[in-house]
Structure 1
Amino acid sequence: MANAASGMAVHDDCNLRFLELKAKWTYRCILVTQLKDTRIFSASLPADEYRYAVYDFDFVTEENCQKSMIFFIAWSPDNSRVRSKMIYASSKDRFKRELDGIQVELQATDPTEMYLNVIKSRAS
């Protein structure tokens, strides 16, 4: 069912890939695009296009406990097209609701806002 505000829908395949990520079956990260709903997050995000990414971050706490947190990353570079930003921004909340289990949201306009030290600080 498409989001009334943006016309975008969460594809069933996207939900399936998210469940696989949560269960630690196949994926550590998935990248969501407007045209292709999911694919493995294997390269850097585009410098001029908005994307959603979901990242399963494993870490060890100060108490030496193994933990995992699922991050929702909204990548919105400053030089992306305005229409693209509007479509993704209007769909973000519904998309997150569809993916039950998101624990941390991270908004990034620059790659430095997604560096490992930033993710670690948000996880603690």
Structure 2
Amino acid sequence: MAVEDECKLKFLELKTKRNYRFIIFKIEGQNVVVEKLGGPEESYEDFNASLPADECRYAVFDFDFITNENCQKSKIFFIAWSPETSKVRMKMVYASSKDRFKRELDGIQVELQATDPSEMSLDIIKGRAL
């Protein structure tokens, strides 16, 4: 599985320049490519709405939050989206290439595996961030 340079470049921009709120990646043939870029003004709800209901995806989300000590922080989440309704072969391809792809993105702080939107609700994201 090859990772397009654009994937690494856009992730670097999200991490260092904060140009994006989220990035959704898709496997096309033998490559991982950028499917969608979410602007800094987009919300977690926009991100959730961008994930297909019946296809797997990888995604990164830059989550801003306030700690219990009242400090503004941010964590980069890697989300492996694998809905129950997606094809078995697709789930296998995404599962088998996830670790290799994740290694290409230096700076991921929290990983989340989700098969249903409830498994990556905002409450869960907040809980994993703190």
Regarding TM over 0.5, the answer is yes
Deviations 1:36-76 (A, max 9, x none): 71121454311111100000101110101111100000000
Of 103, 116, 119, the match for 1:97: 103
Match runs of 1:14-33 below 5 Å: 14-33=7-26
Distance 1:9 1:114 in 2: 27
Q: Provide the residue aligned with 1:58 in structure 2.
A: 64
Q: Hey, what's the Cα distance between the residues in 2 that align with 1:24 and 1:116?
A: 24
Residue pairs, 1:43-122, within 5 angstroms: 43-122=49-128
Equivalenced residues, count: 117
Measured in 2, the distance between the counterparts of 1:62 and 1:45 equals: 30
Aligned mates of 1:25, 1:108 — CA distance in 2:
24
Greater displacement, 31-40 / 59-68: 31-40
Cα-Cα RMSD: 1.3
| One-letter code aligned to 2:97 | S
Moved over 4 A (4+): none
Alpha-carbon displacement from aligned partner over 1:68-108 (angstroms, at most 9, x marks no partner): 10000000001111111111111100111110000100000
Which ranges of structure 1 fall in alignment gaps of 5 or more residues? Answer: 1-7
The structure whose residues are more often strand, as a share, is 2
Q: Where does the alignment leave 5 or more consecutive residues of structure 2 unmatched?
A: 39-45
Query: Hey, what's the Cα distance between the residues in 1 that align with 2:33 and 2:91?
Result: 17
Give the helix-richer structure, 1 or 2.
2
